[in-house]
Amino acid sequence: MMFNLLYKELRLAAHPNLYIFTLLGVLVIVPAYPYGMVFLFGCLGPYISFMYGRETNDIYYTSLLPVKKRDTVKAKCLLMVLAQMTQLSISLPFAVLRLRTLPSSNPAGIEANIAYYGFGFIVYAIFNLIFLTQFFKTAHKVGKAFVLAIIPASIGVIIMEVLVHIPKFQWLDSVEPAIMLKQLPILIVGIIVYILSMLVAYRVSANRFQQVDL
């Protein structure tokens, strides 16, 4: 059933922009670019899809299918996870390629290193938790949910990008294997925070959506 719901999301509910923003994981190959933008694109893609879903009455369609009301929420959560994880997976080979082909560091901000991906999970987690729980209060006020979620997510990105310019935190900017090992806890914490935030987001959103009158 979950596969069918995800299939519905991809074939009917997702806006083509979601695929484009997901592909923007490749931006980590740009020589000088604030790579934190990649994560914000990973938040923008789902937002546009949710807005498109509202305009195409996607929630009504799903609610009439022989599924539980909370499965409508589960489908949206799965779509977000799929898009964001795909985005990270797409960016990975380009991060390695950049390291091999462009020896100079990224002057615009953080390198696409292990700490970067750890922060990425945290940025996604902040956005998803606020966006999903706000949206499913009404299942139609998508703009308000986006504004409330993108502000803290952007602050997270700015902190990450600024931090590496402070001498004390320059180890966060390193792509040396030994130092990247030191960054590993950030990635682990990021993944844990992401998983926890999605579980809470699903639970709270599903309970809120249960109360919504369509």
Partner 1 sequence: MNALSVKGLTKRYPNFLLQDISFDLPQGKIMGLIGINGAGKSTTLKSIINLVNSDSGRIEMLDKDFRENEESCKQDMGVVLGGIDFYNHKKLTDITAVTKRFYKNWDDEAYQRYIKAFSLSPHKKVKELSSGMKVKYMLALALSHKAKLLILDEPTSGLDPVSRDDILELFRQLVDSKGLSILFSTHITSDLEKCADYITYIKDGRLLKSAEKSAFIESFQHLKEPGDKSELSLEEIMIRTERRSYDV
Q: 13 with 49: CB under 8 angstroms?
A: yes
Whether 85 contacts 58, CB under 8 Å: no
Q: Examine residue 214 and tell whether it contacts partner 1 (CB under 8 A).
A: yes
Closest distance between partner 1 and the C-beta of residue 179, in Å? 48
Contact segment (CB under 8 A) with partner 1 among 42-50, 54-62, 112-120, 185-193 equals: 54-62
- CB of 61: closest distance to partner 1 in angstroms? 4
For partner 1, the closer of residues 75 and 160 by Cβ is: 75
For position 210 contacting partner 1 by CB under 8 A, the verdict is yes
Residue among 30, 34, 190 nearest 122 (CA): 190
Asked if 65 touches partner 1 (CB under 8 A), the answer is: yes
Ranges of H-type helices in 139-176: 142-163
Smallest separation (angstroms) from partner 1 to the CB of 13: 8
58 binds partner 1 (CB under 8 A): yes
Is 8 in contact with 75 (CB distance < 8 Å)?
A: yes
Give the single-character DSSP code of 192: H
